[in-house]
Amino acid sequence: MMLMRTDPFRELDRLTQQVFGTAARPAAMPMDAWQEDDEFVVAFDLPGVNVDSVDLDIERNVLTVRAERRDPTPPTLN
């Protein structure tokens, strides 16, 4: 008889990290990028994200995009 130790939440944690990312490895955003003449254009698919919450940073040829999606449900008064 073999005893196997399993963690029922391990697979859920792995899936959550793939979808939402972690601090060390953020989730990827769907995007298109192309060049028009001497400019690079990048279009992101960020449904529910206000354009004012998007922050772009370029350092050492790496583009970092940060965006915040707010909870659309208004807070309830108790």
pLDDT of 37 > 80? The answer is yes
Average pLDDT in the 45-61 region? Answer: 87
Residue listed under structure tokens 């915040």:
68
Produce one character per residue of 4-14: b if its CB has 16 or more CB atoms within 10 Å, e if not.
eeeeeeeeeee
Residue 36 reports pLDDT greater than 90: yes
State what percent of residues in the chain have pLDDT above 90: 10
Which one has a higher pLDDT value, 64 or 73? 64
**Mean pLDDT in residue range 41-64:** 86
**Distance between alpha carbon 68 and the CA centroid of its chain, in Å?**
9
CA distance 7 to 46: 33
